[in-house]
Structure 1
Amino acid sequence: MAKSSNLEDLRQELADDRSLPLRGANLVFGEGDPSAKVLFVGEAPGFHEDQQQRPFVGRSGKLLDKMLEDIGWKRENVYITNVVKRRPPENRDPLPEEIAAYTPYLERQISIIDPKIIVTLGRFAMSHISPQGKISRDQGKVFWWKERIFMPMYHPAAALRSTSVLEDLKKSFQKLPKIIKKYDELKKEHLNDVGAPEEEKNQEALF
């Protein structure tokens, strides 16, 4: 209950923040299990998300639901949000200043939910955690970030346009149950690895 209450307080604070850009659009805060082990972070809401004020409900959302179903998970068992919480005009990419403005709220959201795994969907979401990362190179790999597992994946929208990206996304999702199962072992291995500088460890693939 505490996490639900804290998330609602954060949502209200975000809604009241008049300094944020894109205030002409509806707020899409996020949804799911406040105690989820896995947090999915997209880039920004689209048309359907803005209309329903829920993340990933359009074609991309249907594909995300199917990917979860294929590994035996349900949408309500994870948490889904975006870096930017309002739709950019004409579905354009979020601007750097928009990402910067909403990032503190995302970080507080992460802190409240305290997931074991953060899955970023798309390059803009990935750049929040790994500014030097490349989605084509790093997608589907497993890294450590602030004592959590971080796994970048292609955005479902990209998978709808490319069969090869779709296959890569499917393979990435298939890894998630295995990672959850091996989480304690992976964390112990990570904590024992004290030789590498922190920046290097954050970019060291485990799979």
Structure 2
Amino acid sequence: MKDRRKAVLQELGLIPVWRHKEEATLTKCESDVNQAVETTQMTEPDEKRSDDRSARIARMDWAALKASVASCTACPLSQSRTQTVFGVGDEQADWLFIGEGPGAKEDELGEPFVGQAGKLLDNMLMSIQLRRGERVYITNIVKCRPPNNRNPESFEAEQCHPYLARQIVLIKPKLIVALGKVAAQNLLHSSESIASLRGKLHYYETIPVIVTYHPAYLLRSLADKAKAWEDLCFARETMQSLSVHSA
């Protein structure tokens, strides 16, 4: 029957048969819906896996967290590292210092801030009557060394963030000091320059955050050491104020 109808229409010069506009639109909508469903089906498992991973990390104690970091392959940095650099210090510290990522020496030894930048950080701590390991914990935004000491990429920082977030929850610091632009921007979800972020009190959730220069930068820019000293004095005054209010 369809063939006969087609033959008649062809004889009358009414071929090709054009679809009604509404029918064509409907067909396109159906196609768009199908494509959206397929895309959702493709992306949902990745998102669910990410959510599940973050939820698992959020329940870990110190031992499980350290083991998970040591075996992590969530981003490409795991392929070039010698070892992970978890963090070091007092696990119930009042002060939490966060840098950007391990360098070559840190990658070799497995401890943050152990090279020349580490010596300068130790001197910075001593200038405000602090010592590594005493009321102080030190870690980084990422736990593996970025190749050639480049800045961590956003995906790498995102994959490492659940570890850092869990460290912060376990430590319960009174104050966080962000060392350098990368640490500050990732903690505060900001794209502002370090010059704009310095000298102000920010917050990571409910924890006060003070921003200063990274010690490695200060080794290259001695003129900014005076500004870093101002930031440390601001941090010390902030901690004293917090201690008074919590007493």
TMscore range, shorter length: 0.7 to 0.9
Aligned partner of 1:160 in structure 2 is 219
- Name stretches of at least 5 consecutive residues in structure 1 with no aligned partner: 188-207
Check if 1:127 corresponds to 2:212: no
- Name stretches of at least 5 consecutive residues in structure 2 with no aligned partner: 1-59
Amino acid at match of 2:195: S
Aligned partner of 1:205 in structure 2 is none
Deviation at 1:185, TM superposition (A): 5.7
Check if 1:92 corresponds to 2:150: yes
TM-score by length of 2: 0.70
- The alignment partner of 1:39 has SS state of strand
Q: State the alpha-carbon separation in 2 of the partners of residues 74 and 17 from structure 1.
A: 30
Q: State the alpha-carbon separation in 2 of the partners of residues 106 and 42 from structure 1.
A: 11
Aligned residues: 183
Q: State the alpha-carbon separation in 1 of the partners of residues 185 and 96 from structure 2.
A: 16
Q: State the alpha-carbon separation in 2 of the partners of residues 21 and 107 from structure 1.
A: 20
The answer as to whether partners of 1:21 and 1:101 remain within 8 angstroms in 2 is no
Higher relative CO (Cα under 8 Å, sequence separation at least 6) belongs to: 1
Check if 1:112 corresponds to 2:170: yes
Deviation at 1:164, TM superposition (A): 2.6
- The alignment partner of 1:45 has SS state of coil
Aligned partner of 2:139 in structure 1 is 81
Amino acid at match of 2:96: L
Deviation at 1:145, TM superposition (A): 2.9
Q: Which has the larger radius of gyration?
A: 2
The answer as to whether partners of 1:140 and 1:168 remain within 8 angstroms in 2 is no
Q: State the alpha-carbon separation in 2 of the partners of residues 19 and 76 from structure 1.
A: 29
Identity of aligned residues (%): 38
Deviation at 1:172, TM superposition (A): 1.0
Aligned partner of 2:240 in structure 1 is 181
Deviation at 1:143, TM superposition (A): 2.0
Change (3 A) 1:34 1:104: same
- The alignment partner of 2:76 has SS state of coil
Deviation at 1:184, TM superposition (A): 5.0
CA deviations 1:117-170 (Å, max 9, x no partner) are 111111111111223332111123222331111111111111111123211111
Aligned partner of 2:64 in structure 1 is 9
- The alignment partner of 1:136 has SS state of helix
TM-score by length of 1: 0.82
Change (3 A) 1:137 1:186: farther
Aligned partner of 1:41 in structure 2 is 98
Determine which structure has the larger helix proportion and give its number: 2
